[in-house]
Structure 1
């Protein structure tokens, strides 16, 4: 009977080569997949960077335009300085209508802490939903940025309530001293 050993060695070598080929093919596919994923990530990062650059450019344009805008346009009605009329002229602010997709609403913080919106008619007549939304969601963070303090929880009212007055200091206690004899 012949020994099977001469056949086992080449068979083992062929199996080892096939296993090595399968493992290298598997690693090669994994490396190719990783390279494709890295390419996709790189393209996505570049696209996101381009979107951010365009958005920053739009924001810079908006800030420059708003910096040039006169303060009185943030009020509902204003007297245009270039009006050539013999009587007093009032005009509705151009900011009362939406003009920029980046801006939800314009507002002005009055010295007493209330908000003035170009959309609101004077004396607070009209829908105040936008005012309350701005006061609740935007004003705390805006004031925190201005004062460089951490933002506080949202306020529930438009006008800030004054702090309660401090109680008066207690009167000094008077002790009666015994009368001299």
Structure 2
């Protein structure tokens, strides 16, 4: 795969280090799946979506977790509103949900209300409004899965941050 013009080439780490990190990721993901199964939380994809938004957009910064979480909950809530309107056959509720989603898009584009309307919001609106999900998703369970993902992955990131120095804190090699 080639790198787009003007983009930095992807960082390459030593294969041994990549293998160790991959093993750690597998353990963390297996722990989340086991915890979800133990708590009977079924839409675990919602927790993984939060992890993706937080990791890909914010590199697992603990300071960015609240915004990613609140954005996810905002997107899930707007999607729930649309699903409820459709299930009830309420054009007014559907129109309200769609108008609120348009406002959310506007706020993201304008860079306003970023705690509530951000990339995480847009990811959750996009995914949770897929017809196959809208057809039968239990949004209470989605909210629980998002919260569980925030707690589990946030705790893991916090623990890691206590033992692994951040790249900015590492001394420069000369």
Bigger share in strand? 1
Fold-level similarity (TM above 0.5): no
- Higher Cα Rg, which structure: 1
Bigger share in helix? 2
Greater relative contact order (Cα < 8 A, sep 6+): 2
TM-score with structure 2 setting the length = 0.21
TM-score with structure 1 setting the length = 0.20
